[in-house]
Amino acid sequence: MRRFASFAVLALAAASAGCYHTVIDTGRTPGTTVIDQPWAMSFVAGLVPPPVVMTASQCPAGVAKVVTEHSFLNSLVAGITAGIVTPMHINVTCAAGRREALLPLERSSRLGLQRALEDAARRSLEGSRPVYVQLTN
């Protein structure tokens, strides 16, 4: 019985040793710019998330891939602090190239907002590219 208990504790320790890992791939071609934050601090087991990674200024073509994980050292800190401090590793790879220019569509006073949005949706589908509606007075 003692041998079984030791095996159960060892199996539980091995099963809980895995690292949290998430990959979000947008399908865009990766560029050379990488934003790496190995110690993004979150608290209370992630209930209070880490600060938002501001990518707009560093990734003008958008984001190609986002990887979040709890490395071994991150998990060690979380374990020592009983989950009060829960750091995580965030890695953002910017997309290559330039973002396609948006096709503007101004709403005139004779067009209603609904009609302008319908027209924007139609033009976006036809051209397979984003369209924005600029509201002017």
Mean of pLDDT values over 71-99: 89
Locus of tokens 């953002």: 92
Q: What is the pLDDT of residues 99-115, one digit of tens each?
A: 555 555 555 555 677 77
pLDDT of residue 107: 53
More confident residue, 127 or 55: 55
More confident residue, 123 or 86: 86
pLDDT of residue 108: 56
Can you give the three-state secondary structure of 45-100, one letter per residue? CCCECCCCCCCCCCCCCCEEEEEEECCHHHHHHHHHCCCCECCEEEEEEEECCCCC
Residue pair 104/136 in contact (Cβ under 8 Å)? The answer is: no
What 3-state class would DSSP assign to 115?
helix
Q: Is residue 7 predicted with pLDDT exceeding 90?
A: no
Strand-strand pairing, 63-69 and 30-40? unpaired
Q: pTM for this structure?
A: 0.60
